[in-house]
Amino acid sequence: MTEEQRRRLQQQLWNIANTLRGKMNADEFRDYILGFIFYKYLSEKVEHYADSVLAEDQLEFAKLSENTEEGAQIVEAVQEATIKELGYFLKPSELFHAIALKGNSQAESDDETEASNFILDDLTRILKNIEQSTLGTESADDFSNLFEDLDLTSSKLGSTVKAKNALVAKILAHLDKIDFRLADGTADILGDAYEYLIGAFASGAGKKAGEFYTPQPVSSLLAKLVTSQNKNIRALYDPTCGSGSLLLRVTREAAHVDKIYGQELNRTTYNLARMNMILHDVHYADFDIRQDDTLEHPQHRELRFDAIVANPPFSAKWSASPLFMSDDRFSIYGKLAPGSKADMAFVQHMIYQLSDDGTMAVVLPHGVLFRGAAEGHIRQYLVEHMNCLDAVIGLPANIFYGTSIPTCVLVFKKCRRHPDDILFIDASREFDKAKTQNILRPEHIQKIVDAYTSRKDQDKFSHVASLETIRENDYNLNIPRYVDTFEAEEEIDLNSIAEQLKALDQQNQKTDATIAAYCEELGIAPPFAVTGK
């Protein structure tokens, strides 16, 4: 698929999404349109695989009749193979195309409950059947309650059952016309379009966007940082994974990732992350995304990870219960992060799960660099005792959805190649303005990554600070203490300014004289006092 075809697919999907605009807010119609796209993807994936299974018998899966004994037997045999390979199953009558056709067929009755094009009940049953087809299999957890946010009874779809059905049928009809071209092995193209939609919804979701989406440039930066010295990753982890876009970005930068792990608190976003993995053709056995509070109830605490990336909710609240002082993730520090700001708690959690030769990159608000009290104590412990902070990178303000605050990226390693210093990078001016948001361009990202890998002083951009210097600064990591970005103001030539003012005054006098002459011809007083008369 060409770049032009890629953009066309993105635009087609966005136009279809706009069918729901005006009926509900961005994060609500997001759940519907992404759910329907996902259903179509699952349907075409099953059909493509089933056709390959039936190729020797010259049969087409969509044309099999489940109502005949022979057809039912064939479908049952295909189901066993499909669940083993894909992790789920759809019958021929449950395929997206069949439901889209039914929803847009000519109704034979005006009775909305008996009309031949009524599909809401069928659709509800099919989405449930997809989940139930996985029960008792290895993929069950990955498909459990996956469509729970797609409420086809919601009044937001219409005031009557007939209106709801008509809108859903219209959306399915538009989607049915789009060829996802899965047979060409371009599933990742659809995955890109899916992420494009997630990003588009995030731009309209305001503050809520930070709950499920990390801007693509930031994801790209973190991914490049954690893979800069190791392209083969056994275990990848994001403890606040949102829609999973950050994890997927790392898989693109890496040569190989054995397994992806993530945890997400918000139930809707957790479902979105699982859909995103499957849409990017990540096999159900190759990812493990779980839903719960990472700090309170970590789901993967027994594992250690080669690469960890995260964009935790900035300054989120947490319990900071004294019971955590006996938790191995926090106990060695002697203090807990404050209940009003969990930033350092997320850092402690991730360092605990980082393997000895792993790399971790996390986005945090600037306050973690210099705030005192418990956070200052934890920061000092990380630098002085654990010596695991490898780099501090300052990012531009206003690059995240829903907040304009400046942020930073902290890079951690337990076994550092440069244990006697910490690299500071001030990339706060590396951006382009775009409407209401600042954007990191590829050249900005590459400049940061190059500075990280070369680890050299660059005037007004980067500085390698010794641990002794950091100790002298009382473990305050505020970037301006280490990277001097001061720009001397240009000297002003007062004599030149005086000459310019004199010339302007002479020009003003000539202009006033001209205006006064016109006013005298018109027999009116000039709009200023005339001197010399």
Pairing assessment for the beta strands 305-310 and 232-238 based on DSSP bridges: parallel
Quote the radius of gyration of the chain (alpha carbons, Å). 30
pLDDT band at 158 (very low <50, low <70, confident <90, very high): confident
3-state secondary structure 238-256: ECCCCCCHHHHHHHHHCCE
Bridge-partner residues for 232, per DSSP? Answer: 256
Measure the CA dihedral 253/406/342/367, to 10°. 130
User: Considering the entire predicted model, what is its pTM?
Assistant: 0.85
Which of 166, 50, 64, 42 shows the shortest CA–CA distance to 115? 166
Asked: is 3-203 a CATH 1.10.760.10 domain? The reply is no
Average pLDDT rounded to a whole number, residues 98-120: 72
Residues 6+ apart with CB under 8 A from 443: none
Q: For residue range 277-329, list pLDDT tens digits in order.
A: 998 889 999 999 999 999 999 999 999 999 999 999 999 999 999 999 999 99
Please state, in angstroms and rounded to a whole number, the distance separating the CA atoms of residues 435 and 437.
6
pLDDT at 182: 75
Please state, in angstroms and rounded to a whole number, the distance separating the CA atoms of residues 211 and 192.
20
Please state, in angstroms and rounded to a whole number, the distance separating the CA atoms of residues 400 and 313.
11
> For residues 456 and 464, is the Cβ–Cβ distance under 8 A?
yes
pLDDT at 109: 45
Identify the CATH number of the domain defined by range 206-481: 3.40.50.150
- Number of H-type helices and E-type strands within the chain: 16, 11
Average pLDDT rounded to a whole number, residues 113-118: 66
Q: Where are the alpha helices (DSSP H) in 216-372?
A: 216-226, 245-253, 267-279, 343-353
Please state, in angstroms and rounded to a whole number, the distance separating the CA atoms of residues 236 and 251.
9
Bridge-partner residues for 233, per DSSP? Answer: 257
